[in-house]
Chain A
Amino acid sequence: MDFVNAIILLLNYIFVPALAYGSQLALGAIFVTLIYGILRFANFATGDMMSFGTMFVILFTWYFQSVGISLGVFPTALLAIPFAVIFMVGYMLIIDKFVFKYYRIKKSPPVQLAMVSIGVMFVTQAVVRIIIGPSDRRFFDGEKFLIKAGEFKEMTGLNEGLAIKSTQVITIIVTLILVSTLFWFLNKTKTGKSMRAYSDNEDLALLSGIDPKKIVMTTWVIAGILATIGGALYGLDKSFKPFTYFNNMLPIFAAAIVGGIGNPFGAFLGGYVIAFSEILLTYAYKKFFMYVLPESMEPDGLIQLLSTDYKFAVSFSILVIVLLYRPSGIFKGKVL
């Protein structure tokens, strides 16, 4: 019985949260990796673009709430996402037209484009803060838990409860649907294949008659969808705060690089690698050992490898190790 308790404990505190967090990171990482692979620059505006999309999700959620539309047990935000995506994609296309296009046509070095993306970061941050303000916002409504800890205990008669938040389930399901659609699109459709060809070898792709304008536009559309949904899921699960979104850029970058930058599947898995290692290394295992070990061997301390303050340090250390031993990431991306 103790063993089952220990498993439930790990599920509750490590597996489920890491899976949800990893999905959110994965969406962001695919966003980074697509931009890097096709437009060929590191987008430092990632976090702020995500917060821009989430802002529209929140605005639409408020609007729907004020007119009394809701999805019952599901959060209203799910209904708001498609509308927000439209605005987000529009914003990205405008930015591309007025900012990035010039440097792309001039074939500027990637470093210059990265600098430009910092300008975009400042502007986006300002717009988000001017429209919705810098404060912490929760926009979740509907049923909060799928399984409550108390109910689970009653149902199974175990000591440990397993609480699954509905946002976690929504996050995982939406991510799986979105990512499988994306991979289907990239691998099976003509546009997707031409995108991969363009990413692989630009000149060859142009020679075989691929229209770069169409590729770039599709990339921004996909990026807009990923950024909005990734941001909205993170905001639903935790809360929306522009500053946190800006900071999320770091683990997202780490995930994209660990997975092999330019490789969407690698970025997807990289998100989970980062999330699981962050949570596994900063979790206090005391209770787990109390269940597993006999009473005489119970540990005194918290058995925590690293304090939770060092989350970023974990993702960075993984990055360093990966780069030292496999500079192209776990799943061969472009060599950096």
Chain B
Amino acid sequence: MRKNLNVIAAYSIMMGLIILVGIFQSWNVALSIFNLCLISAVMTMGANIQWGYAGLINFGIMGFTALGGLAAVLISVDPVQEAWSAGGYNILFSLFLIIAMVLAVRYILKNYKKSKNRTYIVAAIIILGIIIIRFISEPGIEAIEDVEPAKTGFLGGLGLPIIFSWVVGAFFAGGLAFVIGKVALGLRADYLAIATLLISEIVIAIIKHEDWLTRGVKNVIGLKRPAPYEVNLQQTDWFINLVEKYNSNKLNLFTDLTERQAALNQLVIEGSSVFVKLCYSGLFLVVVIILLILTQKALYSPWGRMMRAIRDNEEAANAMGKNVVKQHLLIFVLGSAIVGIAGAMLVTQDGLFTPGSYRPLRYTFLIWVMVIVGGSGNNFGAILGGFVVWFLWIEAAPIGLYLVNLTTAGLDDTHFLKVHLIESVPYFRFLLMGVGLLIIMRYRPKGILPEKIEIK
């Protein structure tokens, strides 16, 4: 108990801050911050597994998040029958060709010795394959994108409940991580960072521009929800009764019946959105707790000890007979899969998929700030980092506005400097993040809750 005091203190302060937002701003804002904190926490756990456990830099978090989001679309949207009949066969055939191409290349690489001829043949297969696939897929893609472009214009998904996508998102992200890991993991740390950053940009480029699969920048809106809809809630009796019971003190103050009814309606509308957010919070909390238990177990298992050994001294671990390459690949895939879950959760919560909104600053670098600030190698630290940084990221604008008003209080309201500063309040969050990261890196390089290794 005593040694965990700082963890408990840090988390209680964080919760207190969120509750303060609930009291002073509104419970709606507080809960939406809380939900995104939970999603950020899942992402930081993924990044923390890679960086904190194994020392692998992954700057491709954005790409894995987007793949998770894509999974949410492909699982939950109803299939567009017309599009399937218009171009489905071409797409399936192209897919088959891609698989065949990959298998052929693998076969050649495996069974022939390295030589110039082999390189040329592999290159020829890839180039020819791409040309053939383009010829086959082009008419299919055009046909699919012509099917009611304003409403669909894509293949749609499987029409399953969106919750399944959290698992599928993990598989998508893990699959991509496997491919990247095979190519790039042997390289030095800072090179891996650049490579993953570039790959995530490519993933986004593909998602943005392959309209037949994702609708691209036209966005997919109105995804299914695992939680009830506000509009439906506002008409269900048990919910209205619940709100009435919960607010009975407040409502009893009204003597006039119509006034009371109006107040109740207002409360029901507010309550419904809070209730929906609470549902999401519950779902996300379950995921966070499960992942936390699993990662904690892994950290203190023999496997976790091996990962730390590899992180701290690769050569020594290698000499002890640990397969460093394989373990690196495994942990890269695992961490990315967790990020994929977070991506699917994010799209589930928003109810829409907007490929244009994936930007490296928000989805890669901010997550890294969270991990470093919170404490790499410590799961509680990483989660706390997700909470603290996301809280500051949202509340930086109000804080910035307050500070600007305070420092420029002597100036006229129309003074150009004041107007300019107030306009640029949204960018104070970048400043806050940067300065925060630099200070933490300098004075507390292990983060708020540093890694603690207990030998049990």
Q: Do A and B come from one complex?
A: yes
What residues make up the interface of A, taking CB atoms closer than 8 Å to B? 41-42, 44, 99, 102, 109-112, 114-116, 118-127, 129-130, 133-134, 246-247, 250, 253-254, 257, 307, 309-310, 312-313, 315-316, 319-320, 323-324, 327, 336
In the complex, residue of chain B having the shortest beta-carbon distance to the beta carbon of A128: B427
Tell whether B369 is near chain A: CB-to-CB under 8 Å.
yes
Rounded to whole Å, the gap between the CB of A300 and the closest CB of chain B is 11
| Known A127-B431, A313-B202, A316-B202: A307·B209 in contact at CB below 8 Å | yes
- Residues of B within 8 Å of A41, CB to CB, are 190
Alpha-carbon gap, A5 to B424, bound state (A): 50
- Residues of B within 8 Å of A309, CB to CB, are 205, 208-209
Tell whether B358 is near chain A: CB-to-CB under 8 Å.
no
Of A126, A327, A336, the residue contacting B431 (CB under 8 A) is A126
In the complex, residue of chain A having the shortest beta-carbon distance to the beta carbon of B428: A126
What residues make up the interface of B, taking CB atoms closer than 8 Å to A? 55, 57, 183-184, 187-191, 193-195, 197-199, 201-202, 205-206, 208-209, 360-361, 365, 368-369, 372, 421, 423-424, 427-431, 433-435, 437-438, 441-442, 445
- Residues of B within 8 Å of A125, CB to CB, are 361, 427, 430, 434
Alpha-carbon gap, A122 to B424, bound state (A): 15
- Residues of B within 8 Å of A114, CB to CB, are 57, 190, 193
Quick check: B205 and A336 within 8 Å, CB to CB? no
Of A99, A122, A320, A336, the residue contacting B430 (CB under 8 A) is A122
- Residues of A within 8 Å of B423, CB to CB, are 133
Alpha-carbon gap, A111 to B206, bound state (A): 29
Q: Is the interface of B mostly helix, strand, loop or mixed?
A: helix
- Residues of B within 8 Å of A253, CB to CB, are 194, 197-198
Quick check: B365 and A122 within 8 Å, CB to CB? yes
Quick check: A130 and B427 within 8 Å, CB to CB? yes
In the complex, residue of chain A having the shortest beta-carbon distance to the beta carbon of B434: A122
Of A115, A133, A307, A313, the residue contacting B368 (CB under 8 A) is A115
Quick check: A129 and B430 within 8 Å, CB to CB? yes
Closest 4 CB pairs of A and B: A122-B434, A123-B434, A126-B430, A126-B431
- Residues of A within 8 Å of B430, CB to CB, are 122-123, 125-126, 129
- Residues of A within 8 Å of B205, CB to CB, are 309-310, 312-313
Rounded to whole Å, the gap between the CB of B373 and the closest CB of chain A is 10
In the complex, residue of chain B having the shortest beta-carbon distance to the beta carbon of A256: B194
Quick check: A316 and B190 within 8 Å, CB to CB? no
Alpha-carbon gap, A147 to B189, bound state (A): 48
Quick check: A121 and B365 within 8 Å, CB to CB? yes
**Apart from A111-B189, A122-B430, what are 18 other A-B pairs with CB-CB below 8 Å?**
A111-B55, A111-B57, A118-B369, A119-B435, A119-B437, A122-B434, A125-B427, A130-B428, A130-B431, A133-B423, A250-B198, A309-B205, A310-B202, A310-B206, A312-B201, A319-B198, A336-B187, A336-B191
| Known A115-B372, A319-B195: A120·B438 in contact at CB below 8 Å | yes
- Residues of B within 8 Å of A324, CB to CB, are 183
Quick check: A257 and B431 within 8 Å, CB to CB? no
- Residues of B within 8 Å of A313, CB to CB, are 202, 205-206
- Residues of B within 8 Å of A307, CB to CB, are 209
| Known A250-B201, A257-B194: A119·B427 in contact at CB below 8 Å | no
Alpha-carbon gap, A295 to B428, bound state (A): 61
Alpha-carbon gap, A99 to B55, bound state (A): 23
Rounded to whole Å, the gap between the CB of A256 and the closest CB of chain B is 9
User: What are 23 A-B interface contacts by the 8 Å CB criterion?
Assistant: A102-B442, A109-B189, A111-B193, A112-B445, A118-B368, A118-B369, A122-B433, A123-B434, A123-B435, A123-B438, A125-B427, A125-B434, A126-B434, A129-B424, A129-B427, A130-B424, A246-B360, A250-B198, A257-B191, A309-B205, A312-B202, A313-B205, A323-B191
